[in-house]
């Protein structure tokens, strides 16, 4: 690694963490850059390190398993800890030799590590020591035991024959299924709610039905750095620009280039436009879930001009295709600026009127207030993100915590509520729409001149040479649903490993504490309240059985995943 | 109460649904639809196929040696990258998006390229248009060897020189 052993001493907190990890836990710095430090620690120290970091204010962004056998005959697991309040990431690496492939589980001390550990086991085949409940998360039941798709010897287009597995899934007697298609969100998911009378006592989730192997594809010879933004954009049909920008930010970090200022402004403007359309879409869907279809239709009517505007600026209503490594492909001229201003004024005025009406409808208030409560400590333990976190009093916003692109240039509020209920999540999103409108207006006012593409980059120049192999990068963006994280390890001409952690991945486990104890009738609204994006997450699950009861209902053989709180 | 407010909002908004397909849809000037390849300009160089993210453009070599640049709209993501990189400006991004069809073949557009073969050994040298254009820009003595492959050209040139200096090849 290039900057071996170096770290930036100017950030005192960071130096303190580095000192502690290297001196007390036997770690060594493998790579660092401004706001990121990568430290390898011996695997037996992982749990203590995780405990130390988590208790000193870090959130777990995710963990990423990498098959590094071709490089050093071992498997590696990278835990990405985000020091939100300080604005830097500590990436803790542990290695496991290929013939002894295990790492200690950290779920006991970092509940948020539940899913990503199971994913590491499924996809790379790293065993987790000390975990009470181990099960499959991503791979389907009929997938052969010994094939781990993200191992390097498995070709990207490999389709193993289905093995006859006795179904891992056993519906409990009292379960009420919601799925396999969500009745309102029209995406594949499977929830099983355990009820006593009308009260939900437990929740199970099984997802990942639409896992498309995008990470593997990105590593395959079929793709190059130049094409990956277009692939990344297809991870999500709502916040695709977030993913394309996030993947690009990771690549640009690895290449050591910064796009021109004007390009950064344009990306920020489009990201905020995407948040507006996404939140409006969600407010409409929430109204629909509550049976208030007039509210749904009017919200979507108000949203439509934003879609048309996106098409005008980028070329497409969705999957904009605007981003390239080094900048953006289309400029915003005077005429377009005027159209953006005009549309935003209109949306602001119309949505204000509509939102005031929606939140004052007594039926809506009754259904949303006090239901689906997620407490602050639950939210903290699970490292939940986005509006879900901010409705539970957790101040987390990547735009403020790790200012990227042009967010420093705009002043904006981060709406914060402490109730943690469905109403709070509605209100956070409604307010965010107005903040986003204000951000775009401020940025348009300040839009700097100059080029929109870095001089070393263009559609014609292959960027592959700019991105040397053996580099690491972590990029994060505040998507409409919360923090989106991309972890990149560069290879020859394409990623060696590209890990995408969408916001919903982090928020679904929070549904269990939200749903338990609530009336069944509120469940659809609560599920919708996290604004779940299943396709994103599946690039999903079961939430565990409550074992405290006299009668334990097992949904999965061998137990289910845990999110112990 | 809230019903009255909603009625007033609805009255202000009026009907917004367009009677598409009886009325044209809203398509902005920024919109990117399917692409068109101009067969007269295209060289068959394949640069566009290398940038195309979903492999909607492919360059196929037929058995008879001819080249086919094939565009399959079913895969196209309408990104317009091909048009940006084409050295000949042969690709235009149109605003057309009503592409539904009952057969997949309707979604394929092929641009066929004849090829020039070496007049001595018969090997394929390259697409006719490309060779012709390249020859035009080079001109002069080189132009008369346009239908020779590099190896045969070397031989012919060498033979010419030897004859000139009087050595029998
Ligand atoms: S369309 Fe352009 S880039 Fe593609 S083969 Fe023809 S000349 Fe080459
Ligand atoms: S528009 Fe994009 S996807 Fe379609 S052919 Fe061109 S490069 Fe390929």
Mean pLDDT to the nearest integer, A131-151: 89
Contact flag A315-B32 (C-beta cutoff 8 Å): yes
Quickly tell me which residue has 């895969």 as its tokens: B75
> Percent of chain A having pLDDT more than 90?
66
What lies within 8 Å, CB to CB, of A458 at 6+ separation is A324, A326
Whether the per-residue pLDDT at A1 is higher than 90: the answer is no
DSSP single-letter state for residue B37: E
Mean pLDDT to the nearest integer, A6-19: 70
Of the pLDDT bands very low, low, confident and very high (cuts 50, 70, 90), residue A362 is confident
Other Cβ atoms within 10 Å of B88 Cβ, number: 18
Mean pLDDT to the nearest integer, A209-234: 91
Of the pLDDT bands very low, low, confident and very high (cuts 50, 70, 90), residue A300 is very high
A429 or A536, which is more confident?
A: A429
Predicted pLDDT at A237: 87
DSSP, collapsed to helix, strand or coil, labels residue A198 as: coil
Predicted pLDDT at B144: 75
Whether the per-residue pLDDT at A254 is higher than 50: the answer is yes
Whether the per-residue pLDDT at B43 is higher than 60: the answer is yes
Whether the per-residue pLDDT at A535 is higher than 80: the answer is no
DSSP single-letter state for residue B160: H
What token pair was written down for B119?
A: 């007049």
Domain ranges of chain B: 29-113, 115-169
Predicted pLDDT at B109: 94
Q: Is A173 left (phi over 0), alpha (psi -120 to 50) or beta?
A: alpha
Contact (CB, 8 A) for A276 and A436: yes
Mutate to test the pocket of ligand 1, among B38, B46, B52, B66 (most ligand atoms within 8 A of CB): B46
Q: Which of B6, B53, B84 sits opposite A294 (nearest CB)?
A: B6
Mutate to test the pocket of ligand 1, among B35, B49, B61, B69 (most ligand atoms within 8 A of CB): B69
Contact (CB, 8 A) for B69 and B75: no
- Chain A, residues 228-267, CB within 8 A of chain B, namely 230-231, 234
Mean pLDDT to the nearest integer, A296-306: 95
Contact (CB, 8 A) for A528 and A283: no
Q: How do residues A43-92 score in pLDDT, each as one tens digit? A: 999 999 999 999 988 999 999 999 999 999 999 999 999 998 888 999 99
Mean pLDDT to the nearest integer, A132-143: 86
Of the candidate ranges A329-343, B40-54, B113-127, the one whose mean pLDDT is the lowest = B113-127
Q: Is A335 on the interface with B (CB under 8 A)?
A: no
A533 or A283, which is more confident?
A: A283
- Chain B, residues 8-37, CB within 8 A of chain A, namely 9-10, 13, 16, 26, 28-32
Q: Which of A231, A304, A459 sits opposite B85 (nearest CB)?
A: A459
Cross-strand bridge partners of residue A177: A192
Contact flag A311-B31 (C-beta cutoff 8 Å): yes
Contact flag B10-A298 (C-beta cutoff 8 Å): yes
Of the pLDDT bands very low, low, confident and very high (cuts 50, 70, 90), residue A7 is very low
* Residue-averaged pLDDT of chain A: 87
Contact (CB, 8 A) for B35 and B94: yes
Of the pLDDT bands very low, low, confident and very high (cuts 50, 70, 90), residue A204 is confident
Taking each helix axis from N to C terminus, what angle separates A334-360 and A422-446, rounded to the nearest 10 degrees? Answer: 160
CATH, domain A12-168, list 3.30.70.20, 3.30.460.80, 3.40.50.300, 1.10.579.10: 3.30.460.80
Residue among A272, A530, A282 nearest A387 (CA) = A530
Mutate to test the pocket of ligand 1, among B86, B110, B111, B132 (most ligand atoms within 8 A of CB): B86
- CA nearest to B12 within chain A: A350
Other Cβ atoms within 10 Å of A446 Cβ, number: 12
Predicted pLDDT at B139: 67
Of the candidate ranges A182-196, A379-393, A471-485, B57-71, the one whose mean pLDDT is the lowest = A182-196
DSSP, collapsed to helix, strand or coil, labels residue A253 as: helix
Whether the per-residue pLDDT at A475 is higher than 70: the answer is yes
The burial of B62, by beta-carbon neighbours within 10 Å (0-12 exposed, 13-18 middle, 19 or more buried), is given as exposed
Predicted pLDDT at A560: 30
Mean pLDDT to the nearest integer, A145-170: 83
Mutate to test the interface with B, among A315, A318, A352 (most CBs of B within 10 A): A315
What are the backbone dihedrals phi and psi of residue A192, each rounded to the nearest 5 degrees, phi first?
-125, 120
Cross-strand bridge partners of residue A153: none
Of the pLDDT bands very low, low, confident and very high (cuts 50, 70, 90), residue A546 is very low
What token pair was written down for A72?
A: 């050093």
Whether the per-residue pLDDT at A315 is higher than 90: the answer is yes
What is the least distance, in Å, from the CA of B56 to any CA of chain A? Answer: 13
Contact (CB, 8 A) for A351 and A302: yes
Mean pLDDT to the nearest integer, A318-345: 96
Of the candidate ranges A4-13, A17-26, A368-377, A509-518, the one whose mean pLDDT is the lowest = A4-13
Cross-strand bridge partners of residue A36: A33, A89
What are the backbone dihedrals phi and psi of residue A203, each rounded to the nearest 5 degrees, phi first?
-135, 140
Closest ligand to Cα A230:
2
Cross-strand bridge partners of residue A188: A181
Contact flag A315-B77 (C-beta cutoff 8 Å): no
Predicted pLDDT at A563: 28
- Give the distance (Å) from ligand 1 centre to CA of residue B113: 11
Of the candidate ranges A8-22, A317-331, B113-127, the one whose mean pLDDT is the lowest = A8-22
Of the candidate ranges A50-59, A197-206, A312-321, A419-428, the one whose mean pLDDT is the lowest = A197-206
Of the candidate ranges A181-190, A551-560, B43-52, the one whose mean pLDDT is the lowest = A551-560
Q: How do residues A388-441 score in pLDDT, each as one tens digit? A: 999 999 999 999 999 999 999 999 999 999 999 999 999 999 999 999 999 999
Q: Which of A308, A311, A361 sits opposite B2 (nearest CB)?
A: A361
> Percent of chain B having pLDDT more than 90?
44
Residue among A29, A86, A77 nearest A53 (CA) = A86
What lies within 8 Å, CB to CB, of A504 at 6+ separation is A481, A530, A531, A532, A533, A534, A536, A537, A540
Give one DSSP letter per residue of A263-324, joined into a string: HHHHHHHHHHHHHHHHHHHHHHHHHHHTT-HHHHHHHHHHHHHHHHHHHHHHSSSSS---EE
A252: cis peptide before it, omega within 30°?
no
Of the candidate ranges A225-229, A300-304, A557-561, the one whose mean pLDDT is the lowest = A557-561
Q: Which of B28, B77, B84 sits opposite A311 (nearest CB)?
A: B28
The CA distances from residue A522 to A206, A277, A373, in Å, are 20, 25, 11
What token pair was written down for A541?
A: 């699950």
Of the candidate ranges A98-107, A412-421, B16-25, B31-40, the one whose mean pLDDT is the lowest = B16-25
A513 vs A25: CA distance, rounded Å = 34
Predicted pLDDT at A542: 28
Element (H, E) at A159: none
State whether the Cα torsion A547-A552-A558-A561 is positive or negative.
Answer: negative
The CA distances from residue A372 to A160, A336, A502, A518, in Å, are 41, 42, 22, 7
Give one DSSP letter per residue of A459-498, joined into a string: SSS-GGGGS-TT-EEEEEEEETTEEEEEEEEE-SSSEEEE
What lies within 8 Å, CB to CB, of A127 at 6+ separation is A101, A102, A103, A121
Whether the per-residue pLDDT at B133 is higher than 80: the answer is no
Whether the per-residue pLDDT at A385 is higher than 90: the answer is yes
For ligand 1, atom 4, the nearest C-alpha belongs to: B48
Predicted pLDDT at A363: 83
Of the pLDDT bands very low, low, confident and very high (cuts 50, 70, 90), residue A554 is very low
Residue among A381, A469, A499 nearest A78 (CA) = A499
Q: Contacts from B114-120 at CB under 8 Å and sequence distance 24+?
A: B114/B66, B115/B65, B115/B66, B115/B67, B116/B146, B116/B147, B117/B65, B117/B147, B118/B147, B118/B148, B118/B149, B118/B152, B119/B147, B119/B148, B119/B152, B120/B148, B120/B149, B120/B152, B120/B155, B120/B156
Predicted pLDDT at A547: 35
- Give the distance (Å) from ligand 2 centre to CA of residue B73: 9
Domain ranges of chain A: 12-168, 178-210+516-565, 214-501
- CATH number, domain A214-501: 1.10.645.10
Whether the per-residue pLDDT at A167 is higher than 60: the answer is no
> Percent of chain A having pLDDT more than 70?
88
Q: Is the CB of B111 under 6 A from ligand 1?
A: no
What token pair was written down for A39?
A: 């430290």
Contact (CB, 8 A) for A542 and A512: no
Q: Is the CB of B90 under 6 A from ligand 1?
A: yes
Q: Which of A222, A316, A329 sits opposite B78 (nearest CB)?
A: A316
A97: cis peptide before it, omega within 30°?
no
Predicted pLDDT at A191: 76
What is the least distance, in Å, from the CA of B71 to any CA of chain A? Answer: 18
* Residue-averaged pLDDT of chain B: 87
What token pair was written down for B142?
A: 């080189």
Give one DSSP letter per residue of B41-109, joined into a string: T-----HHHHH-TT--EEEEE-TTS-EEEEEETTT-----HHHHH-TT--EEE-S------SSGGGGEE
Whether the per-residue pLDDT at B38 is higher than 70: the answer is yes
Whether the per-residue pLDDT at A357 is higher than 50: the answer is yes
Quickly tell me which residue has 């990942």 as its tokens: A208
What lies within 8 Å, CB to CB, of A550 at 6+ separation is none
Q: Is B97 on the interface with A (CB under 8 A)?
A: no
What is the least distance, in Å, from the CA of A356 to any CA of chain B? Answer: 10
B143 vs B138: CA distance, rounded Å = 7
Q: Is B6 on the interface with A (CB under 8 A)?
A: yes
DSSP, collapsed to helix, strand or coil, labels residue A160 as: coil
Mutate to test the interface with B, among A232, A303, A321 (most CBs of B within 10 A): A321
Q: Is the CB of B88 under 6 A from ligand 1?
A: yes
Other Cβ atoms within 10 Å of A296 Cβ, number: 20
Whether the per-residue pLDDT at A150 is higher than 90: the answer is yes
A454 vs A452: CA distance, rounded Å = 7
Predicted pLDDT at A539: 44
Of the candidate ranges A536-545, B68-77, B136-145, the one whose mean pLDDT is the lowest = A536-545
Q: Is A315 on the interface with B (CB under 8 A)?
A: yes
Contact (CB, 8 A) for A76 and A68: yes
B63 or A490, which is more confident?
A: A490
What lies within 8 Å, CB to CB, of A411 at 6+ separation is A442
Predicted pLDDT at A392: 97
- Chain A, residues 453-512, CB within 8 A of chain B, namely 459-460
B159 or A376, which is more confident?
A: A376
Of the pLDDT bands very low, low, confident and very high (cuts 50, 70, 90), residue B161 is confident
Quickly tell me which residue has 């009325």 as its tokens: B23
Predicted pLDDT at A256: 93
A377 or A174, which is more confident?
A: A377
Q: Is the CB of B35 under 6 A from ligand 2?
A: yes
B29-113 topology per CATH: Alpha-Beta Plaits (3.30.70)
What lies within 8 Å, CB to CB, of B3 at 6+ separation is none
Of the pLDDT bands very low, low, confident and very high (cuts 50, 70, 90), residue A530 is confident
Of the pLDDT bands very low, low, confident and very high (cuts 50, 70, 90), residue A559 is very low
Contact flag A314-B85 (C-beta cutoff 8 Å): no
Mean pLDDT to the nearest integer, A172-194: 66
Predicted pLDDT at A552: 29
């Amino acid at each position: 690694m290039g900057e071996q052993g170096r770290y930036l001493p100017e950030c005192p907190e960071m130096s303190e963490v580095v000192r502690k990890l290297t001196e007390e836990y036997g770690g060594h710095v493998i790579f660092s850059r401004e706001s990121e430090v990568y430290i390898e620690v011996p695997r037996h120290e992982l749990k203590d390190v995780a405990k130390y970091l988590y208790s000193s204010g870090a959130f777990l962004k995710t963990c990423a398993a990498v098959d590094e056998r071709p490089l050093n005959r071992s498997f590696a697991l990278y835990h990405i800890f985000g020091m939100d309040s300080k604005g830097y990431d500590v990436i803790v690496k542990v290695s496991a030799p290929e013939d002894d492939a295990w790492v200690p589980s950290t779920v006991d001390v970092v509940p948020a590590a539940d899913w990503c550990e199971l994913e590491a086991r499924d996809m790379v085949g790293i065993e987790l020591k000390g975990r009470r409940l181990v099960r499959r998360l991503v791979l389907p039941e009929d997938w052969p035991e010994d094939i781990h798709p993200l191992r390097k010897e498995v070709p990207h287009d490999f389709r193993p024959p289905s093995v006859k597995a006795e179904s891992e899934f056993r519906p409990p007697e009292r379960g009420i299924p919601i799925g396999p298609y969500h009745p309102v969100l029209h995406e594949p998911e499977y929830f099983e709610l355990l009820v006593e009378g009308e009260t939900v006592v437990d929740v199970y989730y099984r997802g990942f039905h639409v896992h498309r192997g995008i990470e593997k594809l990105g590593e395959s010879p079929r793709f190059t750095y130049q094409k990956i933004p277009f692939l990344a954009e297809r991870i999500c049909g709502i916040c695709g620009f977030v993913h394309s920008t996030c993947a690009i930010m990771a690549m640009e970090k690895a290449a050591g280039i910064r796009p021109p200022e004007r390009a950064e402004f344009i990306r920020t403007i489009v990201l905020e436009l995407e948040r507006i359309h996404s939140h409006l879409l969600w407010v409409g869907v929430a109204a629909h879930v509550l049976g208030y279809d007039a509210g749904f239709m009017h919200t979507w009517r108000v949203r439509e001009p934003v879609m048309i505007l996106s098409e005008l600026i980028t070329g497409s209503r969705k999957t904009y295709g605007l981003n390239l490594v080094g900048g953006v492909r289309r400029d915003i001229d005077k005429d377009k600026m005027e159209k953006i201003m005009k549309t935003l004024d209109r949306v602001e005025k119309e949505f204000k009127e509509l939102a005031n009406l929606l939140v004052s409808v007594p039926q809506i208030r009754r259904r949303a207030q006090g239901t689906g409560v997620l407490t602050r400590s639950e939210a903290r333990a699970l490292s939940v993100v986005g509006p879900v976190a901010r409705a539970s009093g957790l101040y987390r916003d990547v735009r403020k915590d790790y200012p990227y692109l042009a967010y420093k240039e705009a002043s904006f509020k981060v709406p914060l509520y402490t109730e943690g209920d469905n109403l709070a999540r509605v209100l956070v999103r409604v307010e965010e729409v107005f903040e986003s409108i204000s951000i775009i207006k401020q940025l348009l006012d300040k839009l700097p001149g100059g080029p929109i593409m870095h001089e070393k980059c263009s559609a014609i120049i292959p960027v592959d040479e700019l991105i040397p192999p053996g580099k690491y990068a972590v990029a994060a963006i505040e998507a409409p649903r919360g923090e989106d994280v991309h972890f990149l390890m560069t290879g020859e001409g394409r990623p060696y490993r590209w890990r995408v952690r969408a916001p919903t991945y982090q928020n679904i486990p929070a549904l269990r504490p939200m749903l338990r104890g609530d009336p069944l009738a509120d469940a659809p609204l609560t599920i919708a309240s996290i604004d779940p994006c299943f396709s994103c997450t599946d690039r999903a699950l079961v939430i565990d059985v409550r074992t405290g009861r006299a009668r334990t209902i097992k949904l999965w053989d061998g137990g289910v995943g845990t999110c112990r709180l | 109460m809230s019903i009255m407010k909603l009625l007033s909002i609805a009255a202000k908004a009026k009907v917004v649904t367009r009677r598409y397909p009886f009325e044209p849809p809203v398509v902005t000037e920024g919109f990117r639809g399917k692409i068109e390849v101009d067969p007269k300009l295209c060289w068959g160089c394949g640069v566009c196929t290398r940038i195309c993210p979903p492999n909607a453009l492919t360059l196929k070599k037929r058995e008879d040696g001819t080249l086919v640049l094939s565009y399959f709209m079913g895969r196209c993501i309408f990104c317009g990258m091909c048009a940006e990189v084409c050295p000949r400006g042969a690709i235009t991004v149109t605003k057309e998006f009503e592409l539904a069809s009952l057969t997949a073949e309707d979604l394929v557009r092929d641009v066929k390229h004849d090829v020039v073969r070496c007049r001595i050994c018969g090997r394929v040298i390259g697409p006719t248009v490309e060779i012709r254009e390249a020859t035009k820009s080079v001109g002069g003595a080189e132009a008369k060897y346009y239908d020779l492959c590099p190896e045969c050209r070397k031989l012919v040139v060498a033979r010419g020189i030897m004859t000139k200096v009087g050595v029998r090849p």
